[in-house]
Every structure is written in structure tokens, then in C-alpha cells.
Structure 1
Amino acid sequence: MSIQSITRMILTPLSQVAFRPSVEGREHVPPAGPVILAANHLSFLDSFIIPLMTPRPVAFLAKAEYFTGTGFKGRLVRELMTGLEAIPVQRGGHRAAQESLELALGVLERGGAFGIHPEGSRSRDGRLYRGRTGVAWLALASGAPVVPVAVLGTDRIQPVGATLPRPGRVTIRFGAPLRFAPQPGISVGRARRQATDDIMAAIQALSGQQTADDFNDLSLTP
């Protein structure tokens, strides 16, 4: 049995007790084949909760520092990230961002599920920020459907700056898959922007969050 399977077996029942998750629309996640899960981002906890509540393994990108920590906490985070199939990446700059997308594309080309937060970083005020077009780059390059996901309650369980989560209630909503394809006569940049805006609108319809007209500041949240 793989470490990923063992991790899910251990953490899934624990999360059921600690967070009493309510999961809606699980049937929208294809049981096989490439799929992109595009979710809002309110807490560090999001990238743990979504894979545990999704009916198939989901890979997320995670900053490389999560895999290099020391002491008990560092080892714990590293084991959790490995067990949840997180992919370590270096942050910062266009090259790092492109390399991250290419790693994600590899997951999809192998028929896997990949999770992404189009806002790029956690919202510090609860609003839903504009999506960055990496999610559309993936969708158009892979042809994979995009399942919008809303996670609610994780910002109260583990807000920005909190060391450990506390018990609470979480809701996860999966929306109907969206599909995107290149459109004749429309530039690549415009197609990516439109697809990203459509994805964010679907996430907002699930989450009910107030929207922000600008992008989240990636420098504010680690």
C-alpha cells in the first residue's frame, strides 16, 4: 500500500471528526481521466481538505519550504505533503510560475487530477480575488475539464497566522465541469482571460463570496 493511500486512510476519518465536513456535488468529479479542480483559497488548510474530500487522489502544488522544515513540525508537514501527493515548487518569478504549470500539465497528461487556487494566494479578507490565467493555460493545453470548487469555513478553523487548526465545520462544494477550447479569431491571451473569468464566476456562485476587482497580493501571504 502506498504512502498516499495510508495517509488518506488515516487523515480522512480524523478530518471527519475534527471538521465535520459537508460535501456537496461530489458526483461532478470525473472518476477517471485528467481533471482540474479550481478552488477558492481562504486558509492553508484548503490544500489538505480538498484532496481528502475528493473521491480520487488530487495533486496540489506546494512551496518547496514545506518539504525542508526541521523539527517535529517540519517533519510532520513534510510527511503530510508527501502523503497528499503535493508537488514541491520554488516560488517567485515568471520562470518558476511556468515550471509549476508544466509540472501540473504532466499530472494531467498522466490522467491525474490536479488542484489549483487561481487567486494565487490565500485571501486575507474573505473576498474572492481575480483569477490568474495559469488555470486557463492548463485547461487549454490539456483539454481537461475544470471542476470549480468552493471551500467554506477553513478561514475560521485556521486563519492566516495560526499555527494549528482548531475544530470547526467545513463545507466543500463541487460544481459542474467546465470545458474550454481554443476559439478561432480570439487571441490566446484573451481566451485565457475569458476562461479564467468564467471559472472564477463559477467558484463565486458556489462560495457566495464578495468579489474583489483586483488581484491578490502574492507578497502578503506565505
Structure 2
Amino acid sequence: MKNKNGMLVVFSGPSGAGKGTILAEYLRRGTEAVCSVSATTRKPRPGEIDGVHYHFVTKEAFEEMIQKGEVIEYTCYNGNYYGSPAGPIRKLLSQGKDVILEIEVKGAKQVRDRFPGALSIFVMPPSFEELKRRLVGRNTENSEEIRGRLETARREVAMALDYDYIVVNDVVSDAADRLGYIIESARCSRKFNRDFIEEVLENA
């Protein structure tokens, strides 16, 4: 007997820390974990596919999802809603699949408050100097925007101690290894096995 449900994994970190790169490497290795597809009210960007990159919905539809409790976390950024639809996540978890939410710290807190059994992991850069180097190397933002990213990163890193685990992304393959070790270890944790323990006691 064991917990047959999948694990809900909250995966956060500042912009430039390499969250997406680590996840891509981890998923490439054949794990059955899946990344949750967020919903948003912003317009699709060139190359983005509905249901793959995001679920693109209207503002009215998203607000109805909020009222009905159909998102497990959400935020509003630059006038657009972003959030994690509850239905697909619950279905995947019931099928025994681990579901990874790559979300920012405010949304992560909502999930941890609502689902105390969730595993939370924060991705750290080796240093702020390295984080700045990565942001500059992307060549997607000007110096003022990069300063803003770094200031936001300082605030987010201050919240890292609220998470269960910290992964330092120095080498991507090593960070992906650590992610896998953490998830496997968490399967033996008290909070992941609470329902299983209660079931055993009920049938004792």
C-alpha cells in the first residue's frame, strides 16, 4: 500500500535563475511528471499555441473561473490575469502523475496555503553577479529593465526560506539531478503520506 496520487510541485525562482532550463532537462530524462499549463488573458505571442504554452481565455472567462474556484492560484500582471486551472491539475494528480507548477512567488504562496501537502522548491542562481550576467546575455532587455529584474529578484530570494528545498543552478544537469533527488525523497515525507497513513489506521 502507498500513496497512489501524484505530487504537486511548486517550482519558483527569480527571472534568469534557469527554472525553465532545469525543468526541460528534468523532463527530457523520461520522467512521467508534467508541467501545468497556465491560463492567461493576454494575447498569444507569435509561435505560441493554445493549450501548449498557455490556455488563452477572455478576461470574463477568467474572472468566472476565479468566482467558481476553478484556479488554484492567480495573479494580475500588466493588466492581464495568469493562473493555474484546478481541473486538469486534479485529474493528473489522481492519475498518479506529478504536476509541476512553474510560478512566481505570490502564486506559490497561494498554492502552499491551499495545498499544504505540496512540495515547494526555489531555484537560486549561484550569485547575483551570475544572475546579472545571464540576464544581460539574453539580450532581450535594456539596462533599466535588467536593474528592475534584479531588484525583483532580491525581494523574491528573501522569500526562499519559505520553501521546502533550495536548488542552486550552477550546472544545469546537476540542478536537474537535484530536482529528481528532491522529488524522490519527498515521496517518503510525512506530509505526502498523510492520507496513506490515515487510510492504514482506518483499516487497522
- Give TM class, smaller chain: 0.3 to 0.5
The alignment's TM-score, normalised by the length of structure 1, stands at 0.39
Q: Based on CA coordinates, which of the two structures has the bigger radius of gyration?
A: 2
The alignment's TM-score, normalised by the length of structure 2, stands at 0.42
Greater strand proportion: 2
